[in-house]
């Protein structure tokens, strides 16, 4: 517990006010933002709790804290800032950071909060999540008191094995109300035409009746297929249909709520960081100029944040550069059919019609786009070459990374693959009454990437603990279709 007050010092407070005014004047529109001043230990703890001071008890927070604390103490990395998507928004500043860093972080934070408030993909998130998370913590603590730590924590572990199996678009879908009782399944045989007994064989021929019977049966089967269409929101499905106790359902619901709350952040990593970096850079250097003694420190800091990492895509870098690229294009009128149809990159470069639409376009992007749509729409060939994107091959034996391709379409496809569905495999529940024995069948959609093989068995076991009947998943290894199953006793795989 801190012995300091976490209120900002007057100096920092004034600074946050003036930066906020400056950001508002530039068109940013954010929730009230409360800055808390904390030391590194608190910051690491809050970061481990994903920004919420109160989370349900679980060892994995301890694990990320352990990691953060160690990397900080061993001098490997430090967290600069942390901001939470709530209204009012909370952001944390580290006490030991120099002033120029605090300023930059504030400007960066206002960029994030503006994004949280205005971006469509965040529109369904709970802005009172701080209270919600604390409430979840209370509920889980109550269960722990009643059922014991081992029991509850063990169940949370199981839920965490599948907490990536959500449908990121679910919050935006309007689900039609389903009334199970409107359609009485036709249990009788096919309807017969009325006929006298001796004419019956002719009016209702046997072969026809049998064919009718057959098609009815088929119809019934499809009606009864459960779920009626493949389900992406596996957490919700299990919460409704798995034989769970009430407290287990509640915990599964909590895990699901929190997974959905965090999904938009993973969904907009590139664009969100890009937006915030664009604004901290603009605010610091143009709108709210630093004094001479700070400018070098700022440049050092900024270049560190957007540094090229080589083997990984730095979301900060990709985000800010792509936004700047778009701004430049729309400032210079490089859009529209006549621009796109120019094939020669040189001519494309030379065709300039000053329209000054750049910043307006950026605000439009911040409103509607997520990483996938942003990259898909705006990462063009010119940008790809200018920023030296490439595909490399990693050889684990000699730990070498060799440049494999600089082909634009391949790079873009690969990049989109990496961020589609938050970088998680697309998995659906296809049949919850598989083999008509109440077994669960999942299907992993083939997008060219294989599942981590060593994890399949463990995840199936977790699923089995929830579903209690045998569970299966169809997937593919080295483009060969495979079905992996766990029936409660043993795990096995069959080629399909």
Hey, what are 415's tokens?
A: 């990049």
Q: DSSP class of residue 227?
A: S
Smallest distance from the beta carbon of 72 to another protein, in angstroms? 8
Structure tokens, 311: 């083997």
Q: What's the closest the beta carbon of residue 179 comes to another protein, in angstroms?
A: 33
Question: In the complex with another protein, which residue's Cβ is closer, 82 or 331?
Answer: 82
Cβ-contact 481, 454 below 8 angstroms:
no
Nearer to another protein, 334 or 375 (CB): 375
Considering beta carbons, is residue 293 or 454 the nearer one to another protein? 454
DSSP codes, 294-312: HHHHHHHHHHHHT---SSS
Of 6 and 433, the one with the shorter C-beta distance to another protein is 6
Is there a contact between 433 and 226 (Cβ–Cβ < 8 Å)?
yes
Q: Which residues of 449-467 are buried (b: 16+ CB within 10 A; e: fewer)?
A: ebbeeeebbebbebbbbbb
Number of neighbouring beta carbons within 10 Å of residue 198: 7
Taking the least distance from each CB to another protein, the nearer of 278 and 389 is 389
Task: Provide, rounded to whole angstroms, the least separation between the CB of residue 21 and another protein.
Answer: 23
Query: Is the Cβ of residue 38 or residue 331 nearer to another protein in the bound state?
Result: 38
Q: How many CB atoms lie within 10 A of CB 143?
A: 22
**Which residue, among 33, 27, 158, has the nearest Cα to 105 in the 3D structure?**
33
CB of 172 to another protein, least distance (A): 20
Shortest distance (Å) from residue 216 CB to another protein: 38
Contact criterion met (CB below 8 Å) for 298 and 100:
yes
199 or 494: whose CB is closer to another protein? 494
**Do residues 345 and 334 touch, judged by C-beta distance below 8 A?**
no
User: Which of 24, 31, 16, 215 has its CA nearest to residue 105?
Assistant: 16
Query: CB of 126: closest distance to another protein in angstroms?
Result: 15
Tokens encoding 7? 């209120």
Q: Give min distance, CB of 369 to another protein, in A.
A: 17
Residue 140 CB, nearest distance to another protein (Å)?
Answer: 12
Place of tokens 């035409």: 193
**Least CB distance from residue 381 to another protein, whole Å?**
15
DSSP assignment of 207-219: HHHHHHHHHHHHH
> Are 444 and 426 spatial neighbours (Cβ–Cβ below 8 Å)?
yes
Give the sign of the dihedral formed by CA 112, CA 115, CA 116, CA 117: positive
What span, in angstroms and rounded, lies between the C-alpha atoms of 351 and 331? 12
Residue 277 CB, nearest approach to another protein (Å): 9
Of 41 and 469, which CB lies nearer to another protein in the complex structure? Answer: 41
Tokens of 262: 């965090």
Beta bridge partners of residue 150, listed in sequence order: none
- Min CB(5)–another protein separation in Å: 10
Backbone angles phi and psi of 269, in degrees to 5:
-55, -50
Cβ atoms of residues 465 and 480 within 8 Å: no
Between 268 and 332, CB nearer to another protein = 268
Tallying the residues shown for the chain, one arrives at: 496
Strand order in the sheet with 491-495: 427-434, 439-444, 471-477, 480-486, 491-495
Q: Strand, coil or helix: what is 329?
A: helix
Supply the minimum distance, in Å, between the C-beta of residue 57 and another protein: 6
Specify the residue, 122 or 330, whose C-beta has the smaller distance to another protein.
122
Judged by beta carbon, residue 57 or residue 171, the one nearer another protein is 57
For residues 259 and 330, which CB has a smaller minimum distance to another protein in the complex?
259
């Amino acid at each position: 517990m801190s012995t300091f007050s976490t209120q900002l010092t007057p100096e920092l407070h004034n600074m946050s006010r003036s930066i906020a005014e400056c950001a508002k004047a530039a068109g940013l529109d954010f929730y009230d933002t409360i800055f808390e001043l904390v030391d590194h230990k608190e910051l690491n703890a809050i970061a481990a709790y994903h920004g919420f001071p109160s989370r349900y008890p679980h060892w994995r927070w301890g694990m990320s804290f352990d990691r953060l604390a160690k990397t900080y103490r061993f001098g490997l990395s430090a967290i600069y800032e942390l901001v939470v998507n709530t209204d009012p928004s909370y952001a944390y500043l580290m006490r030991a950071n120099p002033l120029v860093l605090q300023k930059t972080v504030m400007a960066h934070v206002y960029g994030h909060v503006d994004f949280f408030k205005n971006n469509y993909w965040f529109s369904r998130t709970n802005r009172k999540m701080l209270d919600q998370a604390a409430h979840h913590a209370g509920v889980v603590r109550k269960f722990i008191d009643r059922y014991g730590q081992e029991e509850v924590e063990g169940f949370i572990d199981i839920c965490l094995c599948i907490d990536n199996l959500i449908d990121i678009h679910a919050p935006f879908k309007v689900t039609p109300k389903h009334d199970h009782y409107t359609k009485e399944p036709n249990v009788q045989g096919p309807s017969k035409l009325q006929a006298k007994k001796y004419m019956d064989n002719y009016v209702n021929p046997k072969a026809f009746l049998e064919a009718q019977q057959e098609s009815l049966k088929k119809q019934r089967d499809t009606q009864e297929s459960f779920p009626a269409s493949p389900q992406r929101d596996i957490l919700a499905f299990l919460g409704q249909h798995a034989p769970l106790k009430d407290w287990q359902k509640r915990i599964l619901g909590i895990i699901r709520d929190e997974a959905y709350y965090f999904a938009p952040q993973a969904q907009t990593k590139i664009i969100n960081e890009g937006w915030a970096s664009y604004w901290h850079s603009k605010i610091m250097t143009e709108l709210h100029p630093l004094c001479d003694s700070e400018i070098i420190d700022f440049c050092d800091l900024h270049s560190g944040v957007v540094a090229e990492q080589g083997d990984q895509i730095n979301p900060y870098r990709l985000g800010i550069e792509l936004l700047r690229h778009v701004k430049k294009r729309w400032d210079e009128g490089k859009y529209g059919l006549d621009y796109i149809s120019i094939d020669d990159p040189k001519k494309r470069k030379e065709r300039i019609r000053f329209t000054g639409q750049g910043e307006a376009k950026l605000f439009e992007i911040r409103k509607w786009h997520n990483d996938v749509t942003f990259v898909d729409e705006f990462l063009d060939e010119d940008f790809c070459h200018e920023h030296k994107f490439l595909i490399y091959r990693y050889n684990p034996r000699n730990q070498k990374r060799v440049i494999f391709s600089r082909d634009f379409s391949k790079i873009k496809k690969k990049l989109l693959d990496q961020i589609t569905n938050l970088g998680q495999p697309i998995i659906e529940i296809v049949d919850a009454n598989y083999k008509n024995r109440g077994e669960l069948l999942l299907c992993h959609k083939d997008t060219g990437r294989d599942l981590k093989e060593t994890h399949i068995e463990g995840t199936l076991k977790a699923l089995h603990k929830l579903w209690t009947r045998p569970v299966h998943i169809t997937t593919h290894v080295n483009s060969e279709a495979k079905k992996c199953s766990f029936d409660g006793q043993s795990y096995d795989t069959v080629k399909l």
